Every structure is written in structure tokens, then in C-alpha cells.
Amino acid sequence: MTTPRRAIIEVRWGPLAYRKAILEPGHTLCAGRSNLVDLPFPQDAQMSAKHLTLTWDGSRCRVHDLDSATGTWLQGERVAEGEVASGAWIRAGATNLMVYLEAHTPPGRPEPPLTPPKADALAQLEREASLFAVVDASRGVRPIQLLREAVDEHRSLYDGVKGEALAHCAPYLVALRADSGLLERLVREGWGARWAIFFTCARPFKEVRRHLRRFLLVEDDVSGERYYFRFYDPRTLRIFLPSCTPRQHQDFFGEVTCFLAESESGKILRFPREPPS
């Protein structure tokens, strides 16, 4: 990783759910109802104008309550100040925050080696501009752990109550950042294990997510029944794309420039968007 480890503050519940703030080492972030703070929550009437601060020195994260009216709660306990561990939750007003430290949790086993096929795939993916991934959290606890401890924007493709209930096994859209080590960790630990597919697209995150959500459920042309479509499984993608019709191809790609996925042998497969016929 080329940058010092950062702290990640993610809004989990509240009016601004899914918003994320990144705290660089040696910096302090102020959160509150006022629009003049670093992380404002103007719609949260239970929050004070300046409610709390979070500081990160590169090794420890601390929260300080700013004499707020409703208090600051760390792991369910009201505190004036306290040390915040990775994965801890903070409640301020009607808003719940989760705090993660970048790349905090090591693999549960010795770190997998960056084998030649993985190194080649990583080198090719790093050359791509506007790179996204869809990561399958059902492949185990590690993929979602890596996403939570990464500065890259990510969000489940599922919404609402269903999204909360299936958070542990949902597909997650990720906009991969050049200054993050997430791409290398996904390739090092998940390449060959069907953790993710990758693709390039110049459209904003919200538009890309809206487009992909259209394909979570597909309808059988004969029976009319609807099925979950696991297009984010590399095995499914490499069967579907070469066999789909030109119309299916154009519909599925939308503004996506190219899909990239692992082959059975661990090599990288490229599926570029074909021009309309």
C-alpha cells in the first residue's frame, strides 16, 4: 500500500445511511447537525450542532463527545471519550456509525502467495481505468471483512429490509480506488476462488449500481418464472457472455466497457462490449 493506513467512518443507519468518511493519520473529524462540520447530519434533529470528534493518529482512534444534548454512545455505553476499536459502533443522535481501520484484520491463515497467474491478473487489472468489482459475500466472511476495512466505496446490490437480512451473502458493488490496497487483497486472497468479477465503466457509482440491479432477477422466457441470476460468479459470467444474443449483450453491458473474470486455469478473461449490430 502506498499510503498510510486510514480510519473509515461509515454511516450504517440514519438519514444518510451508506455515506462514508475517510480519516487520514494525524487528522480529526467533527460530526454534528451543523453544515459547518466535517461530517454533517442536518436532518438528524437529535444531534447537536457539533456533536463529537473522531481522531486518528495512525495507530489509535478516539472519540470525544462535545457536551452534546443526547450524548455519544460507544458500543452501547455513553462516553465522554474513549478508544474506538476497528468494527466498533457509535450512536450519535438518531445516527449509527461504524468505524473500521484500513486493512486491520489479517487473513485467518498464512497470507496466500501472489502466484504468477495472480500477479499477471493483478497487473492487467491495475492498468484499467474506472475499475469496478462485484464481490460475492456468500463466499465466506473474508470478502465482506475486506470491503468494510477498505476506503473504496461499496454497497450491496440488494436494498431495504431484504438487503439488511442478506448483507452477509449479498453481491457488493465496489468502485476500486488507485490509492487503495483492496484490489491486490481481492486478487491475492480471492482469485481462483470465485470471489468477484471486474469491469470498467465511466458512469457514476449510483448509475452503475442501478444498472446492475436490473439483472439480479431474470425471467424465464418459457415458464415466466423469475430466478436469481448470479452473474457476479466468474463461472456464470464466462458461460453467459459468449452465449447471449446480441440484444442480451447490449442490454447487459449498458455503459460497461469490458468485463474481466478469472478462467478455470486462473488466467484473466476479457469480454469487451461489442458495437451495436
Q: Are 73 and 91 in contact (CB under 8 A)?
A: yes
Q: What whole-number distance in Å separates Cα of residue 111 and Cα of residue 121?
A: 18
Question: Which whole-number Å values give the CA distances from 147 to 23, 76, 201, 265, in the listed order?
Answer: 16, 24, 20, 26
Residue 188: count of CB within 10 angstroms of its CB: 18
For position 4, what pLDDT does the model report? 80
Looking at the fold, whether 53 and 120 belong to one and the same domain comes out as: no
Bridge partners (DSSP) listed for residue 200: 131, 258
Statement to judge: residues 144 and 234 lie in one domain = yes
Confidence of residue 1 (pLDDT cuts 50, 70, 90): very low
- Same structural domain, 235 and 131: yes
Same domain as 236, residue 174: yes
**pLDDT tens, 165-215?**
888 899 999 999 999 999 999 999 999 999 999 999 999 999 999 999 999
Domain presence at residue 43: yes
pLDDT (0 to 100) of residue 3:
63
pLDDT of residue 47: 96
Domain assignment of residue 239, yes or no: yes
Q: What is the pLDDT of residue 276?
A: 75
- For residue 84, which amino acid is it? V
Please, what is the end-to-end C-alpha distance for the chain in angstroms? 43
Which are the contacts of 78, defined by CB distance < 8 A and separation ≥ 6? Answer: 71, 72
Q: Are residues 143 and 215 in the same domain?
A: yes
34 with 130, same domain: the answer is no
Q: Tell me: do 228 and 200 sit in the same domain.
A: yes
Q: Does 107 fall in a domain?
A: no
Domain enclosing residue 212, as ranges: 116-272
Q: Which three cell numbers stand for residue 100?
A: 473500521
- pTM of the predicted protein model: 0.92
- Band the pLDDT of 277: cuts 50, 70, 90: low
Residue 82: how many other CB atoms lie within 10 Å: 18
pLDDT digits (tens, 9 = 90+) for 2-26: 468 999 999 987 667 888 999 999 9
Considering the domain architecture, whether residues 250 and 124 belong to the same structural domain is answered as: yes
Express each pLDDT in 134-173 by its tens digit: 999 999 999 999 999 999 999 999 987 777 788 889 999 9
Residue 108, classified by CB atoms within 10 Å of its CB into exposed (0-12), middle (13-18) or buried (19+), is exposed
123 and 250 belong to one structural domain: yes
Tally of domains in the chain: 2
Task: Answer with the one of 67, 101, 135 that is the final residue of a domain.
Answer: 101
1 occurs within a structural domain: no
198 and 93 in a common domain:
no
